A and B are shown apart, each in its own frame.
Chain A
Amino acid sequence: MHYSRITPYLFIMPMIIGLIVFRFGPILASFLISFTEWRGTVPPEFVGLGNYEELLNSSIFWEVLINTFEFALMFVPLTMILGLALALLVNQKLRGIAFFRGMYYLPAITSMVAVALVWNWIFTARFGILNHVLRTYFGVSSPPNWLADSDTALLVLVIVSVWKSAGLPMLIYLAGLKGIPSHLYEAARIDGANGWQQFRYITLPMLTPITFFVLIITIFDAFGTFEVTFAMTGGGPLYSSSTLPFYIYQNAFNFFRYGFSSALAYVLMLIVVIITLINFRYRDRWVQRDVY
């Protein structure tokens, strides 16, 4: 194929424009904006590290930050475990398995706003079906108020998010499981390994590269959680279920504090980047190389 030197650039022109206008430009811009006080229509004013100082001294910021980590610490392992469990379940040669796989993936393709509504209804304190079941069949005399209680609201967001997000890890794990050569299991069976041992000493180690990838994207998901908070609690009661992405949105688009919310966004980005780097730094400690 012969082509002039500029031809390839014509093909990627839309993407280059897009990267500049929707990614690099904004990334740089929000860095600069984070050093300004910029409220609504009042022109921005340079304040140096003022916004960062303000957030470090704000008790709400620390509460939100702790919530963000609490959310991630629950969401990441639960999503990964559920994803793997579902993958193991559908990794069988049975008639109709595609139907089950489809059912398990269904939450992942649906609108968060739409499913948040029904979860709200399920978790409703007095008339919700969950508390009815807890009262009637599990003898819980005063079940939690869930979304109305600052101790449980964040937990509800975790539960709904795990339910909705486990589909993707399932599919990725499933592809990984299918890639494990069956002769390994045959050899293990000949050596008398039982099901658990096969899982522990073949499946898990062979899956570590997949697990690493799932870990990275699940962490990214955890620190980007916005829709579930927006749709279910609005960060409440008070700030008890607010996490950084939602707090950034609130500051920018409800309080119109562009400078302050950009500073928050940079803190969030820093956290995600640092965690990702740590993960890559310690990858070799537990991820099997060249397993295939």
Chain B
Amino acid sequence: MFTKPLTFQSRSTMRTRRKLSGLYGHEAQHKVRRAMNYALLTIVALLMAFPFIWMVITTLKSSGNIFSLPPMLIPDKLFQPDMFSSYATLFEEHNFARYTLNSFWVALMAAIGQLIASSLAGFAFARLEFRGKNLLFGLLLATALIPVEVTIIPEYLLAIRVFDPIMKALGGAWIDTFNPLIVPSFFVGTTGTFLLREFFRTLPRELEEAAVIDGATVFQIYSRIYVPLSLPAMTTLFLLAFINNWNALLRAVIYIKSPENRTLPIGLTTFQNEYTAQWDLLLAGSVVTILPLIVIYIFAQRYIVEGIATTGLKS
């Protein structure tokens, strides 16, 4: 009577013990694997971020130490009173405050333009019926795949022959102003139209009904129902457009002539040609160009990353 349960018990304890040790082993293994994952993630992150790190380090060196070999890894001006002197030079002697302001204005206005144009078109494509709808939408997507090199030459010729004279007659100008950097955004936006169309289509149509009964016009339905409800998508679009226009180079290179109208990318390019090899100054310019976007990115990563993933996937 005793032996049987005993053996049974001992067997079962053995089994439990084995199971437990297996479990512990598993958990230890799990921990090691997780640590290795983090290590790998960190190494890759350091590799991807190295140019940014090296950029900042270089700006914190005094000019005499930039070309030292082996390269100085801990910058000599770190935590010294003159730590940010290359940045100060940039703003005091090289007009970077002006460039930053210009970039901000251009990016802001262009992003607003994208919001207006894309939400109007996106609403029509999502909710209204009209002849040629699919054809137009198809053309909008298809022409986005035409290289900008094909369209930029006629656009420039149009600008100098038509837009500029017209604007001059009206007391303004087109060439060497922010207009060519901003105005196109008020008219075409493939990504934006696509993104907002997709978003508007997810909103339930019942939302319109009450408004329709109250006699709201189509424009009121758009502006009072659809626009407020699509704030997350609008935020994403605004941020993407802001970033794109902040970084935009081609049109700025072509249209901007006078120094006081330069945006950051073009200001940095001319600066590079004038101050070759003054790496502390040049890279301080890079940091100034990049930093505002990094700040925006840190606070709004969710909108940016998710917005890109969804537009990317759906198209």
A23 and B157 alpha carbons, distance in the complex (Å):
14
A244 and B148 CA atoms in complex are apart in Å by 12
B208 at the interface (CB under 8 A from A): yes
Which B residues are CB-close (under 8 A) to A19? 136, 139-140, 143, 188
- State the Cβ distance, A129 to closest chain B Cβ, in Å: 5
CB contacts (< 8 Å) of B66 on chain A: these are: 127
Contact (A3, B51) CB under 8 Å given A171-B309, A265-B147:
no
**Quick one: which of B127, B153, B304 contacts A33, CB cutoff 8 A?**
B153
Complex alpha-carbon distance, A144 and B70, angstroms: 18
Residues on A with C-beta less than 8 A from B187 are 14-15, 17-18, 21-22
| A202 within 8 Å of B (CB atoms) | no
Verify if A248 is at the interface (C-beta below 8 Å from B): yes
What per-residue 1/0 map shows which CB atoms of B261-285 lie under 8 Å from chain A? 0001110110010000001001101
Grouping DSSP codes into helix (H, G, I), strand (E, B) and loop, the A interface class, with mixed when no group exceeds half, is helix
A163 interface hit (Cβ, 8 Å): yes
Taking CB atoms, residues of chain B closer than 8 Å to A239 are: none
Q: Are A262 and B153 in contact (CB under 8 A)?
A: yes
Q: Which single member of A11, A23, A97, A163 contacts B48 (CB below 8 Å)?
A: A163
Q: CB-CB < 8 A to A105: which residues of B?
A: 305
Interface residues of B in 180-227 (CB under 8 A from A): 184, 186-189, 193, 208, 212, 217-218, 221-222
Contact with A along B219-252 (1 / 0, CB 8 A): 0011000000000000000000001001101100
Residues of B contacting A92 in the complex (Cβ-Cβ under 8 angstroms):
37
Establish whether residues A109 and B293, one from each chain, have CB atoms under 8 Å apart when the complex forms: yes
Say whether, besides A12-B136, A15-B187, A268 and B145 are in contact (CB < 8 Å).
Answer: no
Residues A33 and B218 in contact, CB atoms below 8 Å apart: no
B140 touches A98 (CB 8 A): no
Q: Which of B218, B301, B310 contacts A98 (CB 8 A)?
A: B301
Separation of A98 and B306 alpha carbons in the complex (Å)? 11
CA distance A244 to B149 in the complex (A): 9
A109 touches B304 (CB 8 A): yes
Q: Given the complex, which residues of A lie within 8 Å of B310, measured CB to CB?
A: 175
Taking the closest CB of chain A, its distance from the CB of B226, in whole angstroms, is 11
Range of interface residues on B (Cβ < 8 Å): 35 or more
Q: CA A261 – CA B155 in complex, angstroms?
A: 13
Contacts of B287 in A (CB 8 A): 114
B93 at the interface (CB under 8 A from A): no
Chain A neighbourhood of B38, CB < 8 A: 94
Query: When the two chains form their complex, are residues B54 and A118 in contact, meaning their CB atoms are under 8 A apart?
Result: yes
B49 contacts A106, CB within 8 Å?
Answer: yes
Closest B residue by C-beta to A223: B147
CB distance A102 to B188 under 8 Å? no
Contact of A253 with B by CB under 8 A? yes
A111 and B69 contact, Cβ closer than 8 Å, known pairs A23-B146, A175-B312: no
Query: Which residues of chain A have C-beta atoms less than 8 A from B254's C-beta?
Result: 253
Question: Which of A11, A112, A172, A276 has the largest count of B CB atoms less than 10 A from its CB?
Answer: A11
B272 touches A12 (CB 8 A): no
**Contact across chains for A175 and B150 when beta carbons are under 8 A apart:** no
Within 8 A of B (CB), among A60-107: 86, 89-90, 92, 94, 97-98, 100-107
Tell me if A193 is interfacial: C-beta within 8 Å of chain B.
Answer: no
Q: Which of B71, B130, B143 meets A9, CB within 8 Å? A: B130
Query: Are B143 and A101 touching (Cβ within 8 A)?
Result: no
Complex partner residue of B151 from A30, A89, A175, CB under 8 angstroms: A30
8 Å CB contact of A102 from B151, B247, B297: B297
Q: Which single residue of chain A is at the shortest CB-CB distance from B193?
A: A15
Q: Bound complex: CA of A12 vs CA of B315, how far in Å?
A: 20
**A1 and B286 within 8 A (CB):** no
Interface hits, A121-151 → B, CB 8 Å: 121-122, 127, 129, 132, 136
The CA of A265 and the CA of B217, in the complex, are separated in Å by 45
Hey, which chain A residues are within 8 Å of B218, CB to CB?
A: 1, 3, 7, 11
Question: In the complex, what residues of A have CB within 8 A of residue B222's CB?
Answer: 11
Q: CB distance B120 to A112 under 8 Å?
A: no
Residues of chain B within 8 A (CB-CB) of A30 are 150-151, 153-154
A181 interface residue per 8 A CB criterion: no
Query: B151 and A168: CB pair below 8 A?
Result: no
Given known A-B contacts A26-B150, A268-B149, A268-B150, A118 and B283 have beta carbons under 8 A apart: yes
Whether A268 pairs with B147 at a CB distance below 8 angstroms is: yes
- B104, CB-defined interface residue at 8 Å: no
B145 and A272 form a contact (CB under 8 A)? yes
Which B residues are closer than 8 A to A by beta carbons? 34, 37-38, 40-42, 44-45, 48-49, 51-52, 54-55, 58, 66-67, 69-71, 116-117, 120-121, 123-125, 127-130, 133, 136, 139-140, 143, 145-158, 184, 186-189, 193, 208, 212, 217-218, 221-222, 243, 246-247, 249-250, 253-254, 264-266, 268-269, 272, 279, 282-283, 285-287, 289-290, 293-294, 297-298, 301, 304-305, 308-310, 312-313, 315
13 A-B pairs with C-beta separation under 8 A: A15-B193, A22-B184, A102-B301, A103-B45, A106-B49, A109-B247, A114-B290, A122-B51, A122-B54, A127-B69, A127-B71, A132-B69, A258-B153
Interfacial residues, chain A to chain B (CB-CB below 8 A): 1-3, 5, 7-9, 11-12, 14-19, 21-27, 29-30, 33, 86, 89-90, 92, 94, 97-98, 100-107, 109-115, 117-119, 121-122, 127, 129, 132, 136, 163, 168, 171-172, 174-176, 210, 213, 217, 220, 223-224, 226-227, 230-231, 244-245, 248-249, 252-253, 258, 261-262, 264-266, 268-269, 272, 276
